[in-house]
């Protein structure tokens, strides 16, 4: 018998609990509390990351308000970039010092969605179940003697976090983390909804409901795909200048009309849009986005996270005539494969991220950041 002895990585014996600052959400609809938390070392096939920059996303706020059901107490945050501090046993693809982006949609490479060319929503995700734990059913966070839940496998509102190896992507070491953190959710979600999920075609007409950070990324995706007409729809007219800067050809405020917005868009286009995107997470606008599509071959994509326990009632004739209604999580990208490529594309200036960043705040002012989000600023 030939025996090959693999040296044991003895540094694993010395991995310590890290004490650091985190924004803990103790219960729904309360401000974040900056606390000292204990972050346990990574177990086998896990990675501990020093978070350098994290974005505030509407999905985090959905969790605060209960629109997205999560257990409490919890450390939210899912759009970030950082540097690997340590790795657990068996991690081979990533090493301490690597620049990385955590992935709220993991890529295990083994489930039916990962193995299919048609899907990207890995079955190991924690979006549907909302267990608030790592894949082994435990947490790495403790505060004041209490276990603190993880958020969709990432939890980035903390100076250090632990994620599973399948939920982290190694990126270009030269990438500016305070910019590319947006590739962890907002940019990739919107841009991919246009180029991956809808597969927008050159010369087409698109309508985007909601032009916050993700909606603006849809605008950029539609423009990159060669859409001839890109209609931004928002009740906050303060969003329109940036939408036009990034490629919108028309801007429409539903408050300016007495008739339903889908009728306005039908009249503007003559027959409805080729592609529509709902980037708000509101059932009324989801129905309107479907209704404004061309009756036979229009495609409508739900990008905003739907509120829990709400249902949509709609006329099935809208679908019978041929429209397609689709959902898109993380822009349809296979996360571990695609995020490093998107970062590389950013470094080659194939798209911009700076216009999506409105404010940069110190971590301790996270509550002010959420106030800016909620007031549409």
Angle at 352 between CA 349 and CA 357, to 5 degrees: 145
* 108, 122, 185, 206: the active-site residue: 185
Instruction: Match 């490629």 to its residue by tokens.
Output: 247
Query: What is residue 35's predicted lDDT score, i.e. its pLDDT?
Result: 98
* 62, 149, 150, 164: the active-site residue: 62
What average pLDDT does this structure show over 135-145? 96
Considering the domain boundaries, does residue 213 fall inside one?
Answer: yes
Tell me the two tokens of residue 135.
């894949």
| CATH classification of the domain holding 262 | 3.40.50.720
- What's the mean pLDDT when you consider all of the chain? 95
Query: What is residue 129's predicted lDDT score, i.e. its pLDDT?
Result: 78
Q: Is 293 a catalytic residue?
A: no
Please, which pLDDT band fits residue 101 given cuts at 50, 70 and 90?
very high
pLDDT tens digits, 162-209: 999 999 999 999 999 999 999 999 999 999 999 999 999 999 999 999
Considering the domain boundaries, does residue 218 fall inside one?
Answer: yes
Please, which pLDDT band fits residue 7 given cuts at 50, 70 and 90?
low
Q: Round to whole Å and give the CA distance between 226 and 190.
A: 16
The number of distinct structural domains making up the chain is: 1
Query: What is residue 209's predicted lDDT score, i.e. its pLDDT?
Result: 98
pLDDT tens digits, 265-288: 999 999 999 999 999 999 999 999
Domain encompassing residue 204: 187-332
pTM here is 0.94
Query: What is residue 12's predicted lDDT score, i.e. its pLDDT?
Result: 59
Question: 128-137, long-range: CB within 8 Å, 24+ apart, which pairs?
Answer: 130/68, 130/69, 130/70, 130/71, 131/71, 132/70, 132/71, 132/74, 134/46, 134/162, 134/163, 134/164, 135/164, 136/43
* Dihedral sign from CA coordinates of 233, 238, 239, 244: positive
Of 294, 297, 321, 300, whose CA–CA distance to 312 is shortest? 300
* 59, 155, 166, 217: the active-site residue: 59
Considering the domain boundaries, does residue 267 fall inside one?
Answer: yes
Of 271, 306, 309, whose CA–CA distance to 291 is shortest? 271
Distances (CA, A) of 332 to 26, 95, 113, 240: 32, 27, 11, 26
Q: Is 62 a catalytic residue?
A: yes
Of 136, 275, 147, 155, whose CA–CA distance to 209 is shortest? 275
* 57, 114, 181, 293: the active-site residue: 57
Considering the domain boundaries, does residue 53 fall inside one?
Answer: no
Considering the domain boundaries, does residue 55 fall inside one?
Answer: no
Q: Round to whole Å and give the CA distance between 241 and 244.
A: 5
Considering the domain boundaries, does residue 139 fall inside one?
Answer: no
Considering the domain boundaries, does residue 152 fall inside one?
Answer: no
- pLDDT at residue 61 greater than cutoff 80: yes
Q: Is 185 a catalytic residue?
A: yes
Query: What is residue 66's predicted lDDT score, i.e. its pLDDT?
Result: 87
* 78, 150, 164, 262: the active-site residue: 78
Considering the domain boundaries, does residue 253 fall inside one?
Answer: yes
Q: Which H helix or E strand runs over 275?
A: strand 275-278
């Amino acid at each position: 018998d030939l025996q090959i002895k693999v040296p044991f990585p003895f540094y694993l014996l010395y991995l310590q609990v890290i004490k650091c600052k985190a924004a803990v959400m103790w219960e729904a609809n309360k401000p974040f509390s900056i606390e000292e938390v204990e972050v346990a070392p990574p177990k086998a096939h896990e990675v501990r990351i020093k978070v350098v920059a994290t974005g505030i996303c509407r999905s985090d706020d959905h969790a605060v308000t209960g629109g997205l059901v999560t257990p409490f107490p919890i450390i939210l945050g899912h759009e970030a970039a950082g540097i690997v501090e340590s790795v657990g046993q068996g991690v081979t693809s990533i090493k301490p010092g690597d620049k990385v982006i955590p992935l709220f949609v993991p890529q295990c490479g083994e489930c039916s969605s990962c193995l299919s060319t048609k899907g990207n929503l890995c079955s190991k995700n924690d979006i549907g179940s909302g267990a608030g734990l790592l894949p082994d059913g435990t947490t790495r966070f403790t505060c004041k003697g209490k276990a603190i839940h993880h958020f969709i496998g990432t939890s980035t509102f903390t100076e250090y976090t632990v994620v599973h190896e399948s939920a982290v992507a190694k990126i270009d070491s030269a990438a500016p983390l305070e910019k590319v953190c947006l590739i962890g959710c907002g940019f990739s979600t919107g841009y991919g909804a246009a180029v991956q999920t809808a597969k927008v075609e050159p010369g087409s007409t698109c309508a985007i409901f909601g032009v916050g950070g993700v909606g603006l990324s849809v605008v950029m995706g539609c423009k990159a795909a060669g859409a001839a007409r890109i209609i931004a729809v928002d009740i906050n007219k303060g969003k329109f200048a940036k939408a036009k800067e990034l490629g919108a050809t028309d801007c429409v405020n539903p408050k300016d009309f007495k008739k339903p917005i889908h009728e306005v868009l039908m009249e503007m286009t003559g027959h409805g849009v080729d592609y529509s995107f709902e980037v708000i997470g509101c059932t009324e606008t989801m129905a309107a986005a479907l209704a404004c599509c061309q009756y036979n071959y229009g495609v409508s994509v739900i990008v905003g996270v739907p509120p829990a326990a709400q249902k949509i009632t709609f006329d099935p004739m809208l679908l019978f005539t041929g429209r397609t209604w689709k959902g898109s999580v993380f822009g349809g990208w296979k996360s571990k494969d695609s995020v490093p490529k998107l970062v590389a594309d950013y470094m080659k200036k194939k798209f911009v991220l700076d216009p999506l960043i409105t404010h940069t705040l110190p971590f301790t002012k996270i509550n002010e950041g959420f106030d800016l989000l909620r007031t549409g600023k």
